């Protein structure tokens, strides 16, 4: 039974990590670089190393919404 719960927990963790507009210390690396304020962890993730918590959302190839600024790495951050 526990072996069935493990993939579900992994999926929930991934969903929580990629949920837009939440304060995040670790985000998936979507492009070649990490967003401003994040460090490349060389494992497909970018981290603030626990120093800051930013509210970021993926750009999905579009311009950032009003009140948000582009921070590179295919992310927008709340101003």
According to the model, what pLDDT value does residue 64 have?
Answer: 97
According to the model, what pLDDT value does residue 7 have?
Answer: 47
According to the model, what pLDDT value does residue 51 have?
Answer: 93
User: CA 39: distance to chain centroid?
Assistant: 12
According to the model, what pLDDT value does residue 18 have?
Answer: 45
According to the model, what pLDDT value does residue 9 have?
Answer: 40
What is the mean pLDDT of each successive set of 10 residues along the chain, which is 79 residues long? Answer: 46 43 90 96 96 94 96 96
CB 35 within 8 Å of CB 73? yes
The span from the CA of 24 to the CA of 56, in Å, is 7
Number of alpha helices (DSSP H) and beta strands (DSSP E) in the chain: 1, 7
CA atoms within 13 A on the CB side of 6: 3
The span from the CA of 66 to the CA of 3, in Å, is 44
pTM assigned to the model: 0.69
Indicate the domain borders of the chain.
Answer: 2-78
């Amino acid at each position: 039974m526990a072996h069935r719960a493990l993939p579900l927990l992994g999926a929930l963790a991934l969903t929580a990590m990629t949920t837009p507009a939440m304060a995040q210390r670790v985000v998936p690396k979507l492009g070649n670089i990490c967003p401003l304020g994040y460090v490349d962890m060389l494992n497909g993730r970018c981290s603030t190393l626990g120093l800051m918590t930013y509210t970021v959302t993926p750009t999905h190839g579009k311009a950032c919404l009003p009140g948000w600024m582009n921070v590179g790495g295919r992310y927008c951050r709340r101003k």
